[in-house]
Chains A and B, each alone.
Chain A
Amino acid sequence: MTGDPGSGGAAFLLPVGEGPDGAILGLLAGALESGAVDALLLPVPLPAGDSFAWILTRDPAVAAGGRPLPPVMPVQGARALRDLTRKGESDVRILALMRPCEIRAARELAKLGQVRTDGLLLASWDCPGALCSKDHVADPDGAGRRFAGMIAAGSPDAGGGVRSSCPGCVDFSMTDADVHFGLLGEQDGALPVMAGSPAGRTLLGSLGLTPAAGTARWKLRAEMERERRETSRRAADEAAGSKLRGAEGLLSFFSACIGCRICRAVCPICHCRLCHFDSETPRPDPDAFFDGAELRGGASLPANRLLFHVGRMTHMSLSCVSCGQCSDACPAGIPVADAFGFVGRAAREAFGYEAGRGDGIPHPLRTWRRIEPDGIGGLVRDAEPGACAHE
């Protein structure tokens, strides 16, 4: 959705020069040199050039080597923020540049006590989608060229080969970021930069950018793109819904799973060090496992693979930001994000909850409200507002 810059109340113009990458890098370096921020967190290409790593740096020279708009997302940005800010305090002011789904995952993690957002400025850009990591590793340059085309068009259909969850992503533009680069709004050599919060406005103000007259073009193009994405999202949900029908649907959807748990490991939301589904609880006592196997004539190994997926769904799908990281990393090629995205959207709708918003609304599983879902689809409006003491 095109977050109105109203909350930050300001839009500026960033001359693009030879390309958005360089322009954004220049703004970031400027923020560092001007002392507005103490450190930058941005993707930097690896020496081999076939992948990217998140680098936190205070050295403008290192930052200059960064790649603000990377074609792939090897590590979900919120995971980097989680690792960086989960424990301890420090007064370092960090400006991080990420895709909108990474910002949303970070906002959600803040609610789960895993990301500390004080002293953190989050910047995002209009994301045309992310290419599959394996394709990029195979042919980095080809992928790079395709992605440049997608940036210009602002849509995943331009280049093709994006992750399965990107075409249906409707939150590809400004959502809850302090600063947002409106790539879609590029017009006569400059692109609009919106401030999403007072902190964002003071940062942009301090960089001496010329204020933008308006952001109508950016809003219009973003709205049109959003409609296109909405239709493909509905189609994707349709497909996922039919495939995931009943136990047989789930069993065949996940039948190729080898139980490697990589989908959980790369997921930004799953922060547990020992996942419940790997703890001693679900691990069957050997004899009990044999009893179960005898009743059914056999069992598939490793055990409890479907329990893990459905269980993970119940634990985190309310917070799923559909970044597609799990599908991208699955060695058995299972489109995990299609299932989690579909289930997550249905669950959030039942609770009337939006994932990834820094809106202070507590996570549905962590608060008790009288207006609870009466079963999927409808909310029971209790006569009086919640009398719960924690309200």
Chain B
Amino acid sequence: MSASAGVRPAGTVRIGVYLCECGPNIAGRIDLDAVRDALLAEGGRYRGAELVVKRYGFLCSGPGKQFLTDEIRDNGLTHLVVGACSPRDHDSTFMGVCAGTDLNPYLYRIVNIREHCAWVIDDPSGATGQAVSYLLGGISRVLRQSPLHERPLEVNPDVLVIGGGAAGMETSLALAGNGRRVVLVERGPAPGGCMGSSSAAAEAVRRHPDIRILRESEVSKVIGFLGNFEVEVTRRDGPAETVAAGAIVLAIGSRTFEPTDDPDVSYGPDDDVVPLEAMERLLAGGGEPLLRDGSPPRSVALVHCVGRGELGYCSGSCCARALALAARLRAVRPDMEVVSVHRDLCLPGRGGTGILDRADASGVGRIRALRAVQSGNELAVEAMDGTPSKRRFDLVIPVPGTVPADDTGRLAAMLRIPLDEQGFFREMHRMVDPSGTATDGVFLAGTAHGPKDLRTALRFAGSCAGQILTRLVPGERLVPEVKVSEILEAYCTGCGNCREVCVYGAIHADPDRGISVVNEAVCRGCGNCYGSCPSGALRTRHFTNEQLLREVDEALRRRVPVLPEPPVAEVHP
């Protein structure tokens, strides 16, 4: 077995170890002078390397950063270790300091002796001992780190929008122009979606010089990353085309739940039951509601929450649409009884109140029921206090919830985005990044993200546009992740484990050489592949097993006394 270079570094290596007092936080509990002496005593371990160990008040302060800069220059440091706080606080600060000198920021390491030692170990000697062990671990790890260099990339500001519905059009209009082109891929004959192809938005999209519409087309293949996607679009009436784009917006909308799939709803073709959307289109076209036998209905019931039990969620927008339709029905036929059958009424915000008031004003009746079972035109209703009643309505309109579009699974696999429990695309973070996805550069607009009302759908479209306008600026350059995985061609046999587990599609096969290859611009250094590789052929830079294991070996070498278990009460439940 060969000696690894790490054990005996070649050439003069000078490691600077700087211990931050952090006011009382560290110096108050850890004896930094004892730490310095212990480290210098152990210095001999790193053959051929000199150790400089100093303490300072506040390394993160302005003067502190200047002190570090001078130390790096004056001592000609080749490696830097900072014993201070959590990397989440000041890792970037100290990397910034290194960037200001000619020491590569990746030949530096922060060792958390505050949250991991000072704040959690009461007995000072125990905390000091632990700090020494962690710092020794940090030194042995930094010795095995290699310099990494950021390579900024030219950005393609253009955007590909999939889906020409309300959200897709809104996004396209918000993004097109000012040096940015949009390609709108629409599966149907023309953009418009629920707003209709003759709507103002559809007209604006058609006329916009920077929006190119690909009708009756579908996305079939996507490779690339934020700033540099290549999307293959197959067209029904033309050859497949490869579109270059810097970002992709998924605005494929959604479908409504099939009413008869709800066990409480059953009707046949000869019942007078009309789906909500059909009735909306009929009225929008100026038509009148008529029964199958042509006669005008005397009583209409809109049954809310169809499918909510099966879906497990309230779609939040169907109550408003139902009551708006009910009000229009009353306006068209003031003599017709229109009743809305619901349990809860989900009408959030001022808009919701407006719709409710207009419905009440136009005389829409409301029956609140624990449960409503529809068979044909007859409704068996269980009131809130449990009393059952049955009634027949000339016309029944089931109001179903929203379900994912049928193309969701295919596109999700293609774009490497997981689905959530309800089958919609899973957003990056439900609260602080709802329109982003796990694949950086792919955004969710409208009901592709989940059920919502039209205005929120348009706001989601605006949010995608906002993310793209502020992150994908023409002429600016993007700096991709540097701590990426690399595959050593000599060792790889191309088995593909890494390709299977890569969630960003950053690894592809090279059949001629029989190996897998990492696209370093797409890789985000998550390390999934590193864990999956059965051979030693793949490693993630800056987090190689060698570095991690040597850090642990070194930290445990002095066998720190096992810490006493904290009393149960203190443990944060």
Contact A366 B497 (CB under 8 A): yes
B275 at the interface (CB under 8 A from A): no
**What residue in chain A is nearest B535 (Cβ atoms)?**
A272
Contact A113 B496 (CB under 8 A): yes
- Beyond the given pairs A279-B545, A280-B545, A315-B534, 18 more chain A to chain B contacts, judged by CB atoms under 8 angstroms and listed by A's residue number, are A87-B512, A113-B494, A114-B495, A272-B493, A272-B535, A272-B537, A273-B493, A274-B488, A275-B535, A276-B535, A285-B6, A286-B7, A291-B553, A362-B500, A387-B419, A387-B420, A387-B421, A389-B409
Chain B contacts for A316, CB-based, 8 A: 534
**What residue in chain A is nearest B6 (Cβ atoms)?**
A285
* Total A-B Cβ pairs within 8 A: 104
A281 at the interface (CB under 8 A from B): yes
A247 at the interface (CB under 8 A from B): no
**What residue in chain A is nearest B409 (Cβ atoms)?**
A389
Contact A281 B497 (CB under 8 A): no
CB distance from A353 to the nearest CB of B (A): 15
**In whole angstroms, how far apart are the Cα atoms of A276 and B534 in the complex?**
6
Contact B4 A273 (CB under 8 A): no
What are 7 contact pairs spanning A and B, CB under 8 A? A86-B493, A112-B495, A113-B509, A273-B491, A280-B536, A281-B536, A367-B500
**What residue in chain A is nearest B513 (Cβ atoms)?**
A87
**What residue in chain B is nearest A391 (Cβ atoms)?**
B409
Stretch binding the partner chain, chosen from B16-24, B410-418, B564-572? B410-418
**In whole angstroms, how far apart are the Cα atoms of A365 and B534 in the complex?**
11
A369 at the interface (CB under 8 A from B): no
CB distance from A196 to the nearest CB of B (A): 26
B376 at the interface (CB under 8 A from A): no
Kindly supply a per-residue 1/0 record for chain B positions 474-516, scoring 1 wherever the CB is within 8 Å of any chain A CB and 0 otherwise: 0000000000000010111111110011000000010111100
**In whole angstroms, how far apart are the Cα atoms of A113 and B550 in the complex?**
34
A283 at the interface (CB under 8 A from B): yes
**In whole angstroms, how far apart are the Cα atoms of A275 and B534 in the complex?**
7
Contact B557 A288 (CB under 8 A): yes
Chain A contacts for B416, CB-based, 8 A: 389
CB distance from A71 to the nearest CB of B (A): 31
A89 at the interface (CB under 8 A from B): yes
**What residue in chain B is nearest A365 (Cβ atoms)?**
B497
A287 at the interface (CB under 8 A from B): yes
Contact A389 B418 (CB under 8 A): yes
B278 at the interface (CB under 8 A from A): no
> Which listed residue (A88, A275, A280) contacts B546, Cβ 8 A?
A280
**In whole angstroms, how far apart are the Cα atoms of A387 and B133 in the complex?**
46
CB distance from A120 to the nearest CB of B (A): 16
CB distance from A289 to the nearest CB of B (A): 9
**What residue in chain A is nearest B491 (Cβ atoms)?**
A274
Contact (A275, B417) CB under 8 Å given A87-B513, A88-B512, A281-B546? no
Kindly supply a per-residue 1/0 record for chain A positions 231-274, scoring 1 wherever the CB is within 8 Å of any chain B CB and 0 otherwise: 00000000000000000000000000000000000000001111
Listed from nearest, the 5 A-B pairs whose CB atoms lie closest are A279-B536, A272-B535, A87-B514, A288-B553, A281-B545
Chain A contacts for B512, CB-based, 8 A: 87-88
